[in-house]
Amino acid sequence: MKYAVVWRPSAERKLAEIWVNALSRGDITNATDTIDAMLSRQPLDVGESRSGKSRILIIPPLCVYYDVHESDRLVAVWAVWQRAESR
């Protein structure tokens, strides 16, 4: 069973900013698509755990923090940034 993946508004705004300023917008788009696909299938089997329900996933050139709400089959991406060495 799949999970719904939602990007919080602040994460969507940051992702848009990263995409607009990217040297390779295709790399940002591909990383975002991969993140969405991985989180929709097995969000607890990818990335690494952090405090509480939070997890981190790194798909170069992007990194995201997200929470998994198993009872709702929901993944909430709440932060995104571009890896410094990928700029």
Task: Report pLDDT digits (tens) over 9-41.
Answer: 999 999 999 999 999 999 999 999 999 999 999
**Domain boundary assignment for the chain:** 4-86
Does the pLDDT value for residue 66 go beyond 70? Answer: yes
Above pLDDT 70, what percent of the chain?
97
Provide CATH code, domain 4-86. 3.30.2310.20
CB 81 within 8 A of CB 14: yes
| Residue 50 in tokens | 């952090």
- The one-character DSSP state at 79 is E
